[in-house]
A = this chain, B = another copy of it.
Amino acid sequence: MREVGIGIAGFGTVGGGVLSILQRHARDIESRLGARIVVRRVAIRDPDKARPVELDPALLTTRFEDLLEDPSIEVVVELVGGVEQAFRLVQGALERGKHVVTANKALLAARGDDIFKLALEKGVDVYFEGAVCGGVPVIRTLREALASDRITALHGIVNGTTNYILTAMAEKGEPLSTALAEAQRLGYAEADPTLDVSGGDAAQKLCVLAQLAFGVRVKPADVLTEGILALTPEDFAWGEEFGYALKLLAIARRVSTPGQPDAVEARVHPAFIPAGSLLAGVRGAMNAVLLHSEALGPSMLIGQGAGAMPTGSAVVSDIIDLTRNVVASSPGRVPLPHGDARVGLLPHGEVRAGYYLRFSVKDEPGVLARVASTLAQRNISIAAVQQREQGTAGAAVPLVIVTHDAREADMSAAMAEIAGFGITVAPTRLIRIEAI
């Protein structure tokens, strides 16, 4: 039986998942493949660290070179994480004509272009299903299933940590600090959750998805990114009144303006969505990607976004796919992501969305009038208003305004102006609304 040798760099959570799946399902995989996947070397940082999976110690090495220089290794699986070190490994593999599987979204977001360009030169493949939403086959769907279609919009819950936190806040009315602590206790959140709660992790994933969906090159720094730290139970309560659920969404959308080239907006921020929508039903640490495309209309993929087995399974399905290409000697069968020169990035100021605005205003005459007229001057039209009477005169009252779609630039200008009036006693809360 034809053997395909692979080298795995990184033996942490995902690496352990990959190796245990390869071991447990070896027989099924062989019968499906008509070929045998053989792990030749596993590169690790710390030889003394205990490993979750049994492995012939002779396979272990601390030197990437042992993978790169082994001619019997045709596929290198990069699971070391980070950017620089991982890039050197992937670059080395590609230069030697080896195919690459990576689950490293940070690497793809930062150096994807260089990697895909080099792979194209060398005529080898790069697969990366594990890099975005572990158990959700969104990469494969974008690269293959939708090859016949034209995607118009992508809305994703792509970070399980924040979705777990927001689900707890919504269902238990907890403040963020409580929900975060619980998520950390249960292992859904890191000791340092910054990358997750800031939206940075979601922005990296969005860069990978947006290039596949729209052929647009986006760097995390180009993504309009807002985290969840400012969200309060009060926002959830108001959302419920208006029939909204509150989720951290990664959004990419094609904006067509007559006479101009298409532009793509890319943003990550908390968003109110209709409580009855499919995305609103995605609870806890689950991930989901909702796609809108011309032929299919709406379609959605849901699954576990992280963890040894879900992500490990995605990596193994890539290894199997690559092995098929190796056996059939059909590399480049599915073209690598490429930039579409026709598509640019929409300036953040031009993004249009509905807005939920929660002002804390002094309870005095004319306040609503000044806010409303300022919005009107910026062509921001109001869909709903609620003002709560407070018991004590002169105390601050909440004023909540929901607007129709408006230009981001107009909204920022209006907010700056209103802040200058001195009628608000606390920072105004602004949450975008997505009518999906």
Q: Which residues of A come within 8 Å of B, CB atoms?
A: 17, 21, 25, 28-29, 32-34, 129, 135-137, 140-141, 144-150, 276, 278, 281-282, 293-304, 309-310, 312-314, 316-317, 319-321, 324-325, 328-330, 333-335
Cβ–Cβ < 8 Å partners of A295 in chain B: 17, 21, 135, 309-310, 312-313, 316
Say yes or no: A317 contacts B29, CB within 8 Å.
no
Q: Is the CB of A296 within 8 A of B304?
A: yes
Q: Let me know if B34 and A335 touch, CB within 8 A.
A: yes
CA gap between A334 and B281 in the complex, in Å:
34
Residues of B within 8 A of A29 (CB): 147-148
Q: List 29 A-B contacts (CB under 8 A).
A: A21-B148, A21-B149, A25-B148, A25-B150, A29-B148, A32-B335, A33-B335, A135-B295, A135-B296, A135-B299, A144-B321, A145-B314, A146-B317, A148-B316, A281-B281, A295-B309, A296-B310, A297-B303, A297-B304, A299-B304, A300-B301, A301-B301, A324-B330, A325-B333, A328-B328, A328-B329, A328-B330, A330-B330, A330-B333
Q: How far is the CB of A333 from chain B (nearest CB, A)?
A: 5
Cα separation A282 to B329 with both chains bound (whole Å)? 41
Closest to A143 in B: B32
List the 4 shortest-distance A-B pairs measured between CB atoms, nearest first.
A328-B330, A148-B316, A299-B303, A295-B313
Say how far A193's CB is from chain B's closest CB, in angstroms: 23
A332-B302 Cα distance, complex, nearest whole Å: 29
Contact indicator B21/A320 (Cβ below 8 Å): no
Chain B residues near A334 (CB-CB < 8 A): 324
In the assembled complex, the Cα of A303 lies from the Cα of B281 at a distance in Å of 15
Complex Cα–Cα for A312 and B295 (A): 8
Listed residue (A34, A146, A302) with the most chain B CB atoms within 10 angstroms of its CB: A302
Given contacts A32-B335, A148-B21, A316-B148, contact A309 B297 (CB under 8 A): yes
Q: Knowing A301-B301, A313-B295, A330-B328 touch, does A140 contact B147 (C-beta < 8 A)?
A: no
Which residues of B sit under 8 angstroms from A145, Cβ to Cβ? 129, 137, 140, 314, 317
Report the separation of the CA atoms of residues A319 and B148 in the bound assembly, to the nearest whole angstrom. 9
Q: How far, in angstroms, from A62 to B325 measured CA to CA in the complex?
A: 39
Whether A28 touches B150, Cβ cut-off 8 Å, given contacts A135-B297, A309-B295, is yes
Query: Closest residue to A299 on the B side, CB-wise?
Result: B303
Contact assessment for B137 and A141 in the assembled complex, using a CB-CB cutoff below 8 Å: yes
Chain B residues within an 8 Å CB radius of A329: 328, 330
A302 near B302: Cβ-Cβ < 8 Å: yes
Are A298 and B309 touching (Cβ within 8 A)? no
Q: A145's closest neighbor in chain B, by CB?
A: B137
Contact in complex: A302, B303 (CB < 8 Å): no
- In whole angstroms, how far apart are the Cα atoms of A293 and B297 in the complex? 27
User: What is the CA–CA distance of A373 and B10 in the complex, to the nearest angstrom?
Assistant: 60
Contact present for B296 and A313 (CB under 8 Å): yes
Q: Besides A32-B147, A300-B303, A328-B329, 8 other CB < 8 A contacts?
A: A136-B299, A137-B141, A140-B141, A147-B321, A148-B314, A294-B309, A297-B304, A328-B330
Chain B residues contacting A330 (CB-CB under 8 Å) are: 324-325, 328-330, 333
- Which of B148, B299, B319 interacts with A320 by CB under 8 Å? B148
Q: How far is the CA of A310 from the CA of B330 in the complex (A)?
A: 29
- B-side contacts of A319, CB under 8 Å: 148
Q: Give the nearest-CB partner of A324 in chain B.
A: B333
Question: What residues on B are CB-neighbors of A321 within 8 Å?
Answer: 144, 147
